[in-house]
A and B are shown apart, each in its own frame.
Chain A
């Protein structure tokens, strides 16, 4: 019982809306909303790699925690970077 209580009192959990689905996990915050200095730029492939799986698929916002607006921007940037071959469309898997 004690570990559960500790978890609920953790400082990094926001007071309101901090717990979801019966207390598992932590509310994700859109990192672009939290830090306005972060820019989404299709020319910065290394930054966009954070939002792409190993197989080069775009990570859904339920996982990445982006808000809808920024997820749209990230997705657009990834697609633009793919056209210029700065990011892959897909990654061939070795058998």
Chain B
């Protein structure tokens, strides 16, 4: 895969975002979801926009999207050791979380998601921040398989004369 830096971010700011009367307070949530690693950058962006329109449709306000990039996972998710993480910060009511999670659950590209409440009475005027895209730690070379590592270490160390015991057997 070659790097194609697509500068899609934040060119279309708050399209279709609902407006709130002054003094409205909403709850603030953050959702992190992990997407399958084989998803291309454009597909991730498309997914991001889908979530954004979903938030706006459900009378919420998307504050910030951060794509963490492809990261190594600490255990296998759907038989893969990598995933593309996306972090969403948004305002809304409780029903919005249920709707977002329902959509994430139904998507085959999502391997993990988790929502955390950040605040209870957050003003709906909270400014929208620009989307971020981080590099991730993806394409680091894998460690060589175990046998190969051991063989290398063998060459480094001294023989130590242990072989004689085996000869007599």
Contacts and interface: CB of A to CB of B under 8 A. Distances in A.
Interface of A: 42-43, 45, 80, 82-89, 94
A5 B80 CA distance: 58
Contacts of B85: 84
Nearest to A91: B74
B74 A88 contact: yes
A76 to B, nearest CB: 10
Given A83-B114, A84-B34, A84-B85, 9 more contacts: A43-B87, A45-B74, A84-B112, A84-B114, A85-B34, A85-B73, A85-B74, A85-B77, A86-B73
Nearest to A45: B74
Contact of B32 (A82, A84, A87, A94): A84
Contacts, number: 28
B112 A83 contact: yes
B114 A89 contact: no
A94 B75 CA distance: 16
Nearest to A88: B74
B66 to A, nearest CB: 10
A88 B112 contact: no
Which 8 pairs between the two chains have the least Cβ-Cβ distance? A85-B73, A88-B74, A85-B74, A83-B114, A88-B75, A87-B74, A84-B114, A85-B75
Interface string B91-127: 0000000000000000000001010100000000000
Nearest to B112: A84
Nearest to A56: B74
14 contacts: A43-B87, A80-B116, A83-B114, A84-B32, A84-B34, A85-B73, A85-B74, A85-B75, A85-B112, A86-B73, A87-B74, A88-B74, A88-B75, A89-B75
B63 interface: no
Interface string B73-86: 11101000001010
Contacts of A88: 74-75
A40 to B, nearest CB: 13
B151 interface: no
B143 interface: no
Given A83-B112, A84-B112, A43 B74 contact: no
Nearest to B85: A84
A82 B114 CA distance: 11
Contacts of B73: 85-86
Contacts of B152: none
